Amino acid sequence: MVDSSNTWTLVSLMPELQVVRFTQPSLCELTDRGLFDQMLDDLLVRTGKGGVVVLNFQQVVAFDSCFLASLIRAYKRYEKLGAKFVACHLCDDVRMVLMVAGNKQPLDYMLNYVDNEEQAVAKAKKLLRTVDDGSGAQTDGK
């Protein structure tokens, strides 16, 4: 399933794995009036607990502080439900902002950054196979 807006295209690879391909060079949450926040909330519901959302920034060269704040808020919501982001195709300027913006650790680490979408999907599938069995030990969910 493919869904698109002026700012991104959503691709559903499987219910628990969704891909967001940003289509604009500048992401401005203030201009989009909360659309990014709403889209990420919708994807969290769609992917469910333990799901993975790939964020493909290939077309992006900049974003505003409101977008960054939305991304951080979404990360916290996802983390509570065991869901994850995998980001790819970050240009040097955007990656630098994410590296210095992290509070306890760089945000590019929190976003499970890899170089391209193929690697991101492979990493996402690997994360989906890793299931927490409740004891804190990680097991392979195959």
pTM for this one?
Answer: 0.84
pLDDT digits (tens, 9 = 90+) for 53-109: 999 999 999 988 888 888 888 988 999 999 999 999 999 888 887 777 665 566 666
pLDDT digits (tens, 9 = 90+) for 116-131: 999 999 999 999 987 4
Single-letter code of the amino acid located at 30: L
Please report, for residues 33, 78, 82, 137, 142, the alpha-carbon distance to residue 134 in angstroms, rounded to integers and kept in the order given. 38, 18, 12, 7, 16
Token pair 């990680």 in the structure block, residue: 138
